[in-house]
Amino acid sequence: MEARSAEGVPVGAAVAALPVEHPREFATALGRITREIWGPPGLPQQRGRAWLPSFACPMTRNALEMLLRGDVAASAALLVVPHTCDSMQALASQVMDLGAGGIPAVTFYHPRTLDAGARASFLRDELRRFRTEMERLLGPVADDRLAKAVAIHREADVLAARLLREGPRAGLPQTEQYAVLRARERLAVEEWLALMRDALDRRVEPRPRGAPIVLSGIVPEPPGLLDAIAASGMRVGFDDTACVGRRIPRDRLPEPTGDPMEDIARRYEALPPCPTRTVDPTTRLDWVVAGARAAGVRGALFVVPARCEPELFDLAAVRGALRTAGVPSVVVETDFEAALPASIATRIEALGEMIGARSP
Amino acid sequence: MGLLRRIRHEAEARLVGPAIAGLNAARRLRRLEAKAPRPPLGPPLRNGVRLRAIVERYYFAGRTADGARPVAWVTSGAPVEVLRPLGYYVVYPENHAAVCGAMRTARDLCEAAERAGHSRDLCSYARTDIGALLAGRTPVGRLPKPDLLVCCTNICQTVAGWYRTLARETGARLVFVDTPFLQGDLLPHHTAYVRRQVETLAAEAERVAGRELRMPDLERSLRSAQDAAFLWGECLATARARPAPWVGIEAFFHMAPIVVLRGLDEAQAYYRDLLGELRERSAAGVAGIEGERVRLVWDNLPIWSELRRLGDLLAARRANLVAATYTHAWSECADLFSAGDPFDAIAATYTSVLLNRDLAHRARGLADLARRYGAHGVLFHSDRSCKPYSLGQHGLRDLLAREHGIPGVVVEADHSDPRSVAWEAAAGRIEAFIEGLG
Amino acid sequence: MIRPLRVGVDAGSTTWKAVAIDGEGRIVAAMLLRSEPRVEEQSERALAEMLGPLVPEAPPRVAATGYGRRRVPGAVARPTEIAAHAFGAAWLAPDASLVLDVGGQDAKAIRLGPGGRAAEFAMNDRCAAGTGRFLENTLSRLGIPWDAVDDMVRGAPRAAQISSTCAVFAETEIVGLIADGAPVPDVVRGLVESLADRLAALIAQVHPGGAIVATGGVARCRPLLAAVAARTGQTVRPAPEPQLVGALGAALLAGP
């Protein structure tokens, strides 16, 4: 039997986290890996049916299924639930109030207001509360260790931004490049850094193949999606997915202040706009159009998880803004299938034909 | 604001609208009196006629409001008390969508939004309103253009996406009052955050209206909202009697004033009269459903397009909805309106509403409602268009059955898009559930 | 120099279609069969049968489209159904600006760009209620042949309201309507109008304007096209041989 702390959590176990963004520096400072629960694609839904209606999104369903199977409690000390949307909020409450998953949970609330002053002060208060909750369950976070964790995450942000900005590298197909970028979802930050350094050691592809496109949505799933993009003569020129591009600060990161809590807040504030965290009606449109222009894209692909409200609300406006900028787009909806359905593959090919990346 | 428009608006809102609504009301009252009894339904409420007149007057006044008064479009759970003293005409897109749902025009308006690229998986209230805005059609005649959009996230995050869209389409100034979801208790940093945003809202509302918000006026509007909420709670509490003096489904309609006229004296006056009528009925032994046999609690928004059929189904089985978490939500936080100075009170009240609280709180509330109202079971409407209300209901049902011995059934439908309602299937489940109660 | 025959195969999920064009750009052969599970075998056999009498002087250039496009042997190009329908329809109706294709398994609206290339498209294949299969199944349940629909809808005084989104729910709703005594013609008209609603919504996604040409098996249903026209405010006419448009488009894409 593995060792358990006074609170009954496995000693040294990982921290599990639901999608999408939350401050990871505290877990790192506590020497814990953060594992994100996106659920393997195509996860058979067995236990979750008794808990969720048919109209819950695939992310919520997969996460709940994994919680109910006991997979999460077996490997993690606690569950972090960022307040990504109404569905994740309901999932947090089912874990914390109804015992789903048998694991303690800590929430993190994203302040969503246009009132900059209120947002800034709440963010800092919420970070302190989050830290206190993590400490209550996992033990104290030493300031010097937190400072180290902040520094290493900062380094990771810088490398990830470079990987995204510089585009394809020799001998590293885009599928693999994404595997590197998404490794943060399950690896310790040090391991992630090592993977990114390896990737960055390769030279930048001077003439990358494929017509650049915008890839938008929550997560580049189902498996085979990126291969289908490549097979249709395209590549991702600008990433606007919630799990990759929208949580890598792309502009220059704010300089360290010497106060790790303040640095965490400033890093959060430097993140690109995302409908799971931000509410400004126009910032995201400007962000996507500017990114599309800078990458010289010819089209856009929106990969939307079925019934995902945060993503769906902005879809018409973002597509409209791209259309005005001369960028045609295609939307595919995914239920996190185990493999790429033919219907999605056909739409991707048709996008390639439409923008002349693939001869019909 | 133009003086001529102001005069025209005042004339229409104070004279023409009430006159038309009055004529309609007189006609309806005559019809009501002439109506043959429809057993097992008890005699209809007189105040039903008055309610329609109030709603008619409210929407009629809106037709000429823009340019004459500042106009705000707000979420149902927005702190409207701040806007009242500044003379705003306030549009409630959710109430408007519910009216469209009940009048069965929601489908057409949803389709207009879908044609503009909005997914059918988005909330049907949002699609109805966005569709009405884009198509320029509404069954209420005309909605005035907003000068200000106020989005309070205490009911869902859906409104954040919805109001962003409204801001893009109307160009109106958008103000958020973001209320952190309370997983557990209301904490000081929650209150501080919300308070600060309400202060910003007040400043912005003053700027748009071109006048100053006076503290005594704000206090008065809060007291008025609190009184109306208490009175509404008392109206609902009359259904604790056996038999309940009114048909519970009607409460979904009678909640309109606490939503759209909150903070105005008209709401208090209305609920005072409604309470009088209900108490009169109680004293006289008048029942909403004669021979009432089954008492049920409803959880979630109603299925607006099917309320009539639901009413018939329940009445045929001598069943009444004696309470609903949705209607009760509008009275539950009334105490908090007087917690501290006006801004703290607003922050506490609006952050503590039902849908901003965790499932443990909702489970306690449901068990309490079922106990106080002597309910035999709970109908959980699993509403495709309302994720915060619906995700978690299955667990609530199990918990209620396990720990409190209160059975429940989950029925999937939608609050306003009839295309997402399979009534036959839903009705079958409800019937089987009632039969199972014995 | 002899220009080879260009052959397009549209290997769909319910029907297999092929069209051959000669060096002068004339359609010289066409074929429509029920799809068999083995696309490879069916394609080889049927193509041999279709091309045999033509005695081609040079080996034909074959392009394949449709659900089974990857399994048609020897194809020089494998365009998507979207590209094939766009090219085929643009060739048949050069004045059209939009293609509405209602097949058995899916429905798509395609805005045509220069040279017959798709400029924008929207597709429904998740929900059966928006496809031809739903109409076909329901008609066959009610025992109504395709050619009777036209007169039936014209004679129906009103459309029965079918509000369900989902094909399964809609079927129950239809059974209920008939059981409640709704006249069959009203139900058929309601059915046609509910499909028209969904198709109009699909068309709206691609920023329409100008004439619409309809392809796919359901394009034979004139009342449906009229209902779509009424909803979109644009003229909608069926392509000649609407079921062969995809194969024709593929043939056009098989070579210069």
CA separation for the pair B54, B63 (Å, rounded): 15
* pLDDT value, residue A315: 97
Q: Which value, to the nearest 10 degrees, does the dihedral of the CA atoms of residues B120, B169, A119, A24 take?
A: 40
pLDDT level of residue A2 (50, 70, 90 thresholds):
very low
Assess whether pLDDT exceeds 60 at residue B184: yes
User: Scanning every residue of chain A, which has its alpha carbon at the shortest distance from the alpha carbon of B386?
Assistant: A86
Q: Determine the pLDDT at residue C162.
A: 79
CB distance C125–A343 less than 8 Å?
yes
* One-letter amino acid for residue B312 of the chain: D
Mean pLDDT calculated for residue range B221-248? 97
Count other C-beta atoms under 10 Å from residue C181's C-beta.
6
Say how far apart CA A97 and CA A94 lie, in whole Å.
5
pLDDT at B253 over 90: yes
| Residue of chain B nearest A317, judged by CA positions | B165
Q: Do B422 and C176 touch (CB under 8 A)?
A: no
Distance between CA atoms of A28 and C99, rounded to whole angstroms?
55
pLDDT in tens, B383-416: 999 999 999 999 999 999 999 999 999 999 999 9
Q: What is the dihedral of CA A277, A280, A284, A285, to 10 degrees?
A: 150
Pairwise CA distance, residues B370 & A37, whole Å: 37
pLDDT tens, residue by residue, C167-213:
666 777 787 888 888 888 998 999 899 889 889 989 999 988 899 99
Compute the average pLDDT of residues B161-171. Answer: 97
Residue A1 has pLDDT above 50, yes or no: no
Give the number of other CB atoms < 10 A from CB of residue B46.
16
Partners of residue B53 on adjacent β-strands: none
Contacts of A280 in chain B (CB under 8 A): 164
- Best B162, B178, B385, B415 member to test A by mutation, with max A CBs in 10 Å, is B178
Q: How far, CA to CA in Å, does B322 sit from each of A190, B372, B373?
A: 59, 10, 7
pLDDT value at B168 more than 50: yes
ipTM of the complex: 0.96
User: Of B213, B235, B189, nearest to B70 (Cα)?
Assistant: B213
pLDDT band at C160 (very low <50, low <70, confident <90, very high): confident
Ranking B68-72, B338-342, C224-228 by mean pLDDT, the lowest is B338-342
Chain B residues within an 8 Å CB radius of A332: none
Nearest to B210 by CA among B385, B58, B70: B70
| Sheet arrangement for strand A299-305 | A234-241, A211-217, A299-305, A329-334
* Structure tokens given for A172: 């590293």
pLDDT category at A8 given cuts 50, 70, 90 is: low
pLDDT in tens, A106-153: 999 999 999 999 999 999 999 999 999 999 999 999 999 999 999 999
Share of chain C above pLDDT 90, in %: 59
Instruction: Quote the pLDDT of residue A11.
Output: 57
Q: For B25-34, B135-144, B224-233, B318-327, which range has the lowest pLDDT when averaged over its residues?
A: B25-34
pLDDT at B82: 98
Measured CA to CA, the distance from residue A118 to residue B347 in angstroms comes to 13
Question: Would you state the pLDDT for residue C55?
Answer: 77
Per-window interface: A 320-349 vs B, CB < 8 A: 320
Token pair of B274 as six digits: 């409604």
The nearest alpha carbon in chain A to B361 belongs to A97
pTM higher than 0.90, yes or no? yes
Determine, for residues C169 and B116 on separate chains, whether the beta-carbon distance falls below 8 Å. no
